[in-house]
Chains A and B, each alone.
Chain A
Amino acid sequence: MLLLGAVAYDPKVVPIWEGICAWLQAHGVDVEPVWFFRYETLVQALVSGGVDVAWHSPLAVVQTERALHRRGRTLRLLAMRDTDQDLTSVIVARRGGPSSLDTLRGRRIAVGAWDSPQATLLPLNHLQANGVRPGKDVDVRTYDLLVGKHGDHVGGERLAARALRDGDVDAAALFDGNLLAFRADGSLPDDAEVIARTGMYDHCAFAALTGHREAELDAWTRVLLTMRWEDPVVRVLFDLEGLREWRPGRTHGIEPLRHAVATLDHEAADRVRRFADTL
């Protein structure tokens, strides 16, 4: 039997993975879900072999990679959602506010939880790469909702958007999907415009240690990839989890975050590095 670890960042996570595991069991793969409260514990469990495969946030992927690196081992990404490929994050500001990264100097930006790749680490690194040093040239305000969930919960980004609407900050960082969602549900002020956008990156993935039960995990992945949205049973699970199809895992989409964790000069990245070093 394979153990699949996942962080329960929201109550809906439980029926999603129970449903997916039940479907996989019905298709001949014995797998059981195990719930974690924080990604940090899941990372430890994966590194120590306590779970065979982890549903990992991109930051958990980077943390696991760093821990494995010191042991001379590597990580495999088995599969991911179609909706987790080629994301971008945006920085939005209101009309009359900053209109570019340069004019953000001396102002205040709202970001998500400090461990959110999409709403904090990647956008802040984008600022730094463009010569605007977070915490020095621009004041950074984190909206630390549910730390340990790596920003999977939308709450932090929603608070950042609300801070922009309420005039508490001059700009806010969001994942591009939430730009569309917050525009439609009114969380963003009408005059908010995109003033900068990061490069593309990938989000969550199924991660496993190279060399760990590879044949079984490859067989598991093959069955997973046969799940079809057109199947009414699968559709319910996919709609809840927000995907149309599973795709084979790929690692190049993690590179922007690896780079951000390695180079970002900000407390958020310091904390990430400190944790990874303790593993």
Chain B
Amino acid sequence: MRVELGDLAIDRGGSVLVANALRDAGHVEVEGTDPELESNLRAWARARGHGADGKTVHRATGRFDGGAEVVLPTGTADARWGFAPRGARVEAGTAAWNWPLDDAAVVWDEDAARIYSSAAARQWDPARDVPWDDGFRLDEPVEAAVCQVLTYLVENEVAALSVPATFLPRIHPTFAEVVQVLAVQVADEARHAAVFTRRLGLRGHGPGTSGRGGQASLASLLAEPDFLSATFLLSVLGEGSFVELLRWLADCAPDPVTRAVVRLAAQDEARHVAFAVGHLRRVVERDPAWLDKLAGALRNRSAALAATSGLNEDVFDALVVVGAGSLEPDAIGRSFASVADLVRRMDRARQGHLARIGFPAASAIELSGWHTRNFM
């Protein structure tokens, strides 16, 4: 094969054309008018391990001959594929990084690509999609109650961000679509925390109290070391309950900014729950033994939280005031009943998710009752 460089020098880009030609041919004859062509061609070929003979270059053994091709595995992903995308050829001798989550049976999900594109398409813009400039005014006790609920929501968002974030760097990169789903989930939670925090400061009130039980409940989510168990506790049971709370607030909150931020967050949360439920359903279909492991993780968490009070009572009371929109006894009475109904709705939602994963109806009812009283 011949490469015509014209007046392009080897040391000014000509070597790129020679390297390109060597991909297809074992021997390449180089023509050009640069007086230094032959000398620089020899120096370049020497450094790359090619043979050079006048203006002819003989290709060396390829760096990627004998390498490995990255594929979607049915079993364990090869650590030596490293960070490369599926389809890439990886050089032999590449140092293996340790990705503990390398088993397709645990990690891979054929629905991940669809979930990711729908998540990417539905990203919302807090600056554009929330009516921050609305001139609403709430009575002080109602504003205080809204801020107490938002304080609790922010805490939950931080935990919901941290759990997938700890698993992200443990997932083998060949399962790229699953990594993408979890990464966008982390970004969603960051945005939720940001808009809730902004609403907290909007009328100068700021955060309320943070209870010991709620903190303990969230910490126990981060303590779960197993990926699927943590997914189950956070995204099926926790977010499965949380999304009901957000929807209730979207209906009942007294101001348009709070209604907007919880409505937008609820859209994302519903997607987080859908992915987790679908993923665990498929895992259980392949290996029903996972039902016992997941139930065990739930019981362990429940035992660990037995000595705590669960939901901060300030949060429960604040929910009632938020739903009432005033301290009017009639309104408070109606709202109290509505919050009690919300708690029942959360329980029914969890039972539905548990059944979809594959738990029999009776154990779905029992397991839902084991869920933390902190909702998340």
Chain A residues close to B by CB (< 8 Å): 82-83, 85-88, 90, 176-177, 179-180, 183, 194, 197, 229-230, 232-233, 235-236, 242, 244-245
Most buried by A among B10, B46, B91: B46
Q: How far, in angstroms, from A232 to B40 measured CA to CA in the complex?
A: 29
- Inter-chain contact A86/B46, CB cutoff 8 Å: yes
* B93 interface neighbour in A86, A87, A233, A242, Cβ under 8 Å: A233
CB atoms of B47 and A229 under 8 A apart: no
Q: A86 to B60, alpha carbons, bound, how many Å?
A: 17
CA distance A177 to B48 in the complex (A): 11
Asked whether, in the complex, the Cβ of A180 is within 8 Å of the Cβ of B36, the reply is no
Residues of B near A197 (CB, < 8 A) are 36, 39
- B43, A230: Cβ atoms closer than 8 Å: no
A245: chain B residues within 8 A (beta carbon): 49
Which residues of chain A are near B10, meaning CB under 8 Å? 180
Q: Cβ of B46 and Cβ of A179 under 8 Å apart?
A: no
Residues in B neighbouring A177, C-beta threshold 8 A: 43, 46-47
Residue from the list A180, A229, A236 in contact with B43, Cβ < 8 A: A180
Contact A83/B47 with A88-B39, A176-B39 known, Cβ cut-off 8 Å? yes
Q: Is the CB of B39 within 8 A of A232?
A: no
Could you show 25 A-B contacts with beta carbons less than 8 Å apart? A82-B46, A82-B49, A83-B47, A85-B46, A86-B46, A88-B39, A90-B39, A176-B42, A176-B43, A177-B43, A177-B47, A180-B43, A180-B44, A183-B11, A197-B39, A229-B49, A230-B65, A230-B66, A230-B92, A232-B93, A235-B91, A235-B92, A235-B93, A242-B47, A244-B60
B228 to chain A, nearest CB (A): 34
Q: Could you tell me the distance between the alpha carbons of A233 and B43 in the complex, rounded to whole angstroms?
A: 26
Chain B contact residues: helix, strand, loop or mixed: helix
Q: How far is the CB of B16 from chain A (nearest CB, A)?
A: 10
CB of B63, distance to nearest CB on chain A (Å): 8
Complex Cα distance, B40 from A192, in Å, reads 15
Name the CB-closest residue of B to A81: B46
Tell me the minimal C-beta distance from B89 to chain A in angstroms: 14
In the bound complex, CA of A85 to CA of B46 (Å): 8
Chain B residues lying within 8 Å of A236, measured Cβ to Cβ, are: 93
User: In the assembly, what is the distance between CA of A210 and CA of B61, in Å?
Assistant: 35
Binding site for A on B (CB under 8 A): 10-12, 15, 36, 39-40, 42-44, 46-47, 49, 60-61, 65-66, 91-93
Contact A180 B92 (CB under 8 A): no
Complex: A90 Cα to B40 Cα, angstroms: 10
Taken together as a complex, chains A and B put the C-alpha atoms of A176 and B40 apart, in Å, by 7
Shortest distance between the CB of A19 and any CB in chain B (Å): 12
Query: What B residues does A232 contact at CB under 8 A?
Result: 92-93
Q: List chain A residues, Cβ under 8 A from B65.
A: 230
Nearest neighbor of B10 in chain A, beta-carbon distance: A180
Q: How far is the CB of B90 from chain A (nearest CB, A)?
A: 11
* B contact residues around A179 at 8 Å (CB): 11, 40, 43
Query: Within 8 Å CB of B42, what residues of A?
Result: 86, 176
Contact of A194 among B36, B49, B66 (CB under 8 A): B36
In the complex, besides A180-B10, A244-B49, 17 extra interface pairs with C-beta distance below 8 angstroms are A83-B46, A86-B46, A87-B43, A88-B43, A90-B39, A176-B39, A176-B42, A179-B43, A180-B11, A180-B15, A180-B43, A183-B11, A183-B12, A197-B39, A229-B49, A229-B61, A235-B91
How close is B234's CB to chain A, nearest CB, in angstroms?
40
Supposing A229-B61, A230-B66, A233-B93 touch, asked if A180 and B49 sit within 8 A by C-beta, the answer is no
Closest residue of A by beta carbon distance from B65 = A230
Cα–Cα distance between A177 and B41 once the two chains are bound (Å): 10
CB neighbours of A176 from chain B (8 A): 39-40, 42-43
Closest to B66 in A: A230
Alpha-carbon separation in the docked complex, A177 to B44 (Å): 7
* Closest A-B pairs by Cβ, 9 of them: A232-B93, A244-B49, A176-B43, A232-B92, A183-B11, A235-B93, A180-B11, A194-B36, A83-B46
The residues of A that contact B49 with a CB separation of less than 8 Å are 82, 229, 244-245
Interface-central residue, A176, A177, A245, by most chain B CB under 10 Å: A176
Roughly how many angstroms separate A197 CA and B34 CA in the complex, as a whole number? 14
How many angstroms between the C-alpha atoms of A177 and B42 in the bound complex? 10
How long is the Cα–Cα vector from A154 to B87 in the complex, in angstroms? 38
**Option from B15, B40, B44, B61 in Cβ contact (under 8 Å) with A230:** B61
Q: Which residue of A lies closest to B11 (CB)?
A: A183
User: Known interface pairs A230-B66, A235-B93, A236-B93. Does A180 touch B47 (Cβ–Cβ under 8 Å)?
Assistant: yes
A residues in contact with B61, CB < 8 Å? 229-230
Could you tell me the distance in whole angstroms from the C-beta of B44 to the nearest C-beta in chain A? 6
B5 to chain A, nearest CB (A): 15
Contacts of A85 in B (CB 8 A): 46
A28 to chain B, nearest CB (A): 22
Chain B residues near A86: list those with CB within 8 A: 42, 46
Of all chain A residues, the one with the shortest Cβ separation from B50 is: A244
- A229–B50 Cα gap in the complex (Å)? 13
- How many angstroms from the CA of A245 to the CA of B48 in the assembled complex? 11
CA distance A230 to B61 in the complex (A): 8
Residues of A with C-beta under 8 A to B60: 244
Question: Contacts of B46 on A, CB cut-off 8 Å?
Answer: 82-83, 85-87, 177
Nearest-CB residue, chain A, relative to B92: A232
Q: How far is the CA of A7 from the CA of B39 in the complex (A)?
A: 30
Specify which chain B residues have a CB less than 8 angstroms from the CB of A88 in the assembled complex. 39, 43
